[in-house]
């Protein structure tokens, strides 16, 4: 199997290369951003045909995504920069192992329609969506009924009373009240209790926007209605997600909080191959707890549901405003509570309710939302 990895110098990209090395797969393309030294080390070790850094811009990402030898493109990019490369990969007929959730948040309608038309599989890499994927016996909805379009009929129809439970650790500020969050620093917000992640996703986890983005991702990946996606705070991060079927039976996927498991399954499913990654020790994790999320203290989760319910380009606005606000917080320009405030203001100011969703409208809406958010 030939692999192209977009974002190989980031947290998921580095772990993907560990998985690739463990499986003995061939790397044909790598892209990195600012860590050029690490990218050079990776290139020397894996000897890909194509190596692109940030100086090559979007053209470099699209070239790696559509590399003629690639069988699978691992999209480990962060943010909406991964949208056009995903379009390029699907258009070239590549299977996409997707860790870049913002792609489906900002352009799920376009991406899933294009994938169906091209007969391309989009396989989840996020641990939560990998868990749902595994509970569905390693099938995405369109695979259940072959090539006759959407597998579940009208959205949620064949799920009946079933639902997806997406679990969340609660982040570093679980249990905090909103009034206690005004002075949170970037350093505090970057300290996730269970997972080792990049800066942007760590802040998203701290605000619970990460879980909101995952709700929208699940909506598109599994063709389920928003009301059938429930978020549960599970501080131990052992159950990665669950599916409750129409008969009331629940399947859960459990494992150590190690992203390499989800990455490997995305590349090998339905086969399960040996590795030396972290294993779950039940004796050390003998208590699993669950609680409802506090959307008053963490309004980003509520805003994500609202954007999804409004539909159209509102999730695009949500995602772009969040990216702008997180960047401002990390740069010390706004406080922690400024993140949801900017997102809510941007959503309220958006006037393109009935605008048609297309690649062009997604890109222009992103630009507007980021510009608006940056001025707040």
* Per-residue pLDDT reduced to its tens digit, 96-143: 999 999 999 999 999 999 999 999 999 999 999 999 999 887 655 444
> Tens digit of pLDDT per residue, the chain (376 long)?
999 999 999 999 999 999 999 999 999 999 998 899 999 999 999 999 999 998 899 999 999 999 999 999 999 998 889 999 999 999 999 999 999 999 999 999 999 999 999 999 999 999 999 999 998 876 554 443 333 333 333 444 445 667 899 999 988 999 999 999 999 999 999 987 766 677 888 999 999 999 999 999 999 998 888 988 999 999 999 999 999 887 788 899 999 989 999 999 999 999 999 999 989 988 888 889 999 999 999 999 999 999 999 999 999 999 999 999 999 999 999 999 999 999 999 999 999 877 899 999 999 999 999 999 998 7
- Give the Cα separation of 262 and 289 in Å (integer): 22
The pLDDT of residue 136:
85
The pLDDT of residue 152:
38
Output the 3-class SS for the chain: CEEEEECCCCHHHHHHHHHHHHHCCEEEEEECCCCHHHHHHHHHHHCCCEEECHHHHHHHHHHHHCCCCCCEEEECCCCHHHHHHHHHHHHCCCEEEECCCHHHHHHHHHHHHHHHHHCCCEEECCHHHHHHHHHCCCCCHHHHCCCCCCCCCCCCHHHCCCEEEEEECCCCCCCCCHHHCCCCCHHHHCCCCCCCCCHHHHHHHHHCHHHHHHHHHHHHHHCCCHHHEEEEECCCCCEEEEEECCCCCEEEEECCCCHHHHHHHHHHCCCCCCCCCCCCCCCCCCCCCCECCCCCCCHHHHHHHHHHHHCCCHHHHHHHHHHHHHHHHHCCCCCCCHHHHHHHHHHHHCCCCCCCCCHHHHHHHHHHHHHHHHCC
C-beta of residue 334 within 8 angstroms of C-beta of residue 328: yes
Structure tokens at 182: 């005004």
The pLDDT of residue 338:
95
Structure tokens at 348: 């309220």
C-beta of residue 86 within 8 angstroms of C-beta of residue 103: yes
- Give the Cα separation of 125 and 75 in Å (integer): 9
Residue 191: how many other CB atoms lie within 10 Å: 10
- Domains of the chain (ranges; CATH) run 2-125 (3.40.50.720), 311-376 (1.10.1740.10)
C-beta of residue 75 within 8 angstroms of C-beta of residue 12: no
């Amino acid at each position: 199997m030939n692999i192209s990895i977009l974002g190989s110098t980031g947290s998921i990209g580095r772990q993907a290369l560990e998985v690739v090395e463990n499986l003995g797969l061939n790397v044909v393309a790598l892209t990195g951003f600012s860590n050029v030294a690490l990218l050079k080390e990776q290139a020397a070790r894996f000897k890909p045909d194509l190596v692109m850094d940030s100086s090559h811009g979007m053209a470099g990402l699209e070239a790696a995504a559509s590399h003629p030898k690639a069988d699978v493109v691992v999209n480990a990019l962060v943010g909406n920069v991964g949208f056009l490369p995903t379009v390029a990969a699907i258009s070239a007929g590549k299977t996409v192992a997707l860790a870049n959730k913002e792609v489906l948040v900002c352009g799920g309608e376009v991406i899933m329609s294009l994938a169906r038309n091209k007969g391309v599989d989009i396989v989840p890499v996020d641990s939560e969506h990998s868990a749902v994927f595994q509970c569905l016996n390693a099938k995405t909805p369109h695979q259940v009924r072959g090539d006759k379009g959407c597998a579940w009929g009208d959205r949620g129809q064949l799920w009946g009373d079933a639902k997806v439970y997406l679990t969340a650790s609660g982040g570093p500020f679980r249990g905090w009240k909103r009034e206690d969050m005004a002075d949170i620093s970037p350093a505090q917000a970057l300290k996730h209790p269970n997972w080792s992640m990049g800066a942007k996703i760590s802040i998203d986890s701290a605000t619970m926007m990460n879980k909101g983005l995952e709700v929208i991702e699940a909506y598109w990946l599994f063709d389920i209605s928003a009301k059938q996606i429930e978020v549960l705070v599970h501080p131990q991060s052992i159950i990665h997600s669950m599916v409750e079927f129409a008969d009331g039976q629940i399947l859960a996927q459990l494992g150590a909080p190690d992203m390499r498991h989800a990455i490997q399954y995305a590349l090998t499913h339905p086969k399960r191959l040996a590795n030396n990654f972290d294993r779950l020790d039940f004796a050390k994790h003998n208590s699993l707890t669950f609680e409802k999320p506090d959307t008053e203290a963490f309004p980003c989760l509520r805003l994500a549901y609202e954007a999804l319910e409004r539909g159209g380009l509102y999730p695009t606005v949500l995602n772009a405003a969040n990216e702008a606000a997180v960047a401002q917080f990390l740069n010390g320009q706004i406080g922690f509570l400024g993140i949801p405030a900017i997102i809510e203001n941007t959503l309220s100011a958006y006037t393109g309710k009935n605008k048609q969703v297309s690649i062009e409208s997604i890109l222009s809406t992103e630009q507007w939302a980021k510009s608006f958010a940056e001025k707040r």
